[in-house]
């Protein structure tokens, strides 16, 4: 229990730029267990989560919700404890005074792979649903849409923000119409 008393309130933690001046995510959280809060450009809380590797989670969230990820606050702990992590997450949400949109109805957008079927153009949808297509043709269409969405994320969202690190998507998931980091 003594470990829990060392945890900070959300307000007591400093804002850390999501992408630093070198175009990198906060590397000090690689392999670290902790709770994190993500803020938009105006420092409005968007999402609170916890992870066994905060750095990897931040990377995933940036790909999924790039426009909402500008600032982060992190509290790390030495040993994994789901109870401590969940209690801290709940305390930060309560401290905020309302549930951030990323922890409410929109949680899937923060925590699940990107479903590219919902961002298909009408032309791509018509092509995908063409009754003449067999399963292989549909998989090819999904992969092409996934590549388009991946390129949009990489160039229009991440490069514009100055991200300098390599982002690699899982090629197997593209066949299922999903985009997620490898």
Please give the Cα distance from 122 to 120 (Å, whole number).
Answer: 6
Please give the Cα distance from 145 to 179 (Å, whole number).
Answer: 10
Q: Which of 58, 92, 110 is the last residue of a domain?
A: 110
Residues 88 and 131 in one domain: no
Number of Cβ within a 10 Å radius of residue 160? 10
CATH number of the structural domain spanning residue 25: 3.40.1440.10
Tokens of 65: 């919700």
Is residue 4 pLDDT above 50, yes or no?
Answer: no
- What pLDDT sits at residue 6? 65
Convert the pLDDT of each residue in 47-93 to its tens digit.
999 999 999 999 999 999 999 999 999 999 998 899 999 999 999 99
Please give the Cα distance from 34 to 79 (Å, whole number).
Answer: 9
Range of the domain at 73: 10-110
Q: Which residues contact 54 (CB under 8 A, 6 or more apart)?
A: 29, 32, 33, 34, 36, 74, 76
85: helix, coil or strand?
helix
Q: Does a structural domain hold residue 5?
A: no
Residues 167 and 97 in one domain: no
Residues 130 and 104 in one domain: no
Q: Which of 110, 133, 164 is the last residue of a domain?
A: 110
Convert the pLDDT of each residue in 90-143 to its tens digit.
999 999 999 999 999 999 999 999 999 999 999 999 999 999 999 999 999 999
Q: Does a structural domain hold residue 4?
A: no
Residues 40 and 98 in one domain: yes
Residues 27 and 103 in one domain: yes
- Helix then strand count (H, E) for the chain reads 7, 6
Residues 103 and 119 in one domain: no
- Whether residue 48 contacts residue 17, with contact meaning beta carbons closer than 8 Å, is answered with no
- Whether residue 86 contacts residue 34, with contact meaning beta carbons closer than 8 Å, is answered with no
Q: Which of 82, 110, 138 is the last residue of a domain?
A: 110
Residues 77 and 20 in one domain: yes
């Amino acid at each position: 229990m003594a470990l829990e008393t060392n945890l900070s309130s959300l307000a007591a933690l400093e804002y850390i730029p999501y992408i630093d001046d070198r175009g990198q995510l906060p590397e000090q959280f690689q392999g670290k267990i902790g709770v994190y809060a993500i803020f938009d450009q105006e420092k409005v809380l968007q999402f609170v989560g916890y992870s066994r590797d905060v750095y990897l989670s931040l990377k995933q969230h940036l790909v999924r919700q790039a426009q909402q990820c500008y600032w982060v606050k992190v509290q790390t702990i030495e040993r994994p404890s789901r109870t401590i992590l969940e209690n801290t997450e709940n305390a930060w949400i309560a401290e905020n005074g309302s549930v951030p949109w990323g922890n409410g109805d929109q949680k899937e957008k923060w925590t699940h792979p990107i479903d590219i079927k919902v961002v298909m153009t009408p032309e791509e949808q018509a092509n995908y649903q063409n009754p003449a297509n067999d399963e292989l043709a549909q998989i090819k269409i999904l992969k092409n849409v996934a590549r388009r969405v991946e390129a949009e994320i990489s160039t229009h969202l991440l490069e514009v923000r100055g991200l300098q690190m390599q982002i690699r998507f899982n090629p197997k998931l593209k066949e299922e119409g999903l985009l997620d980091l490898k």
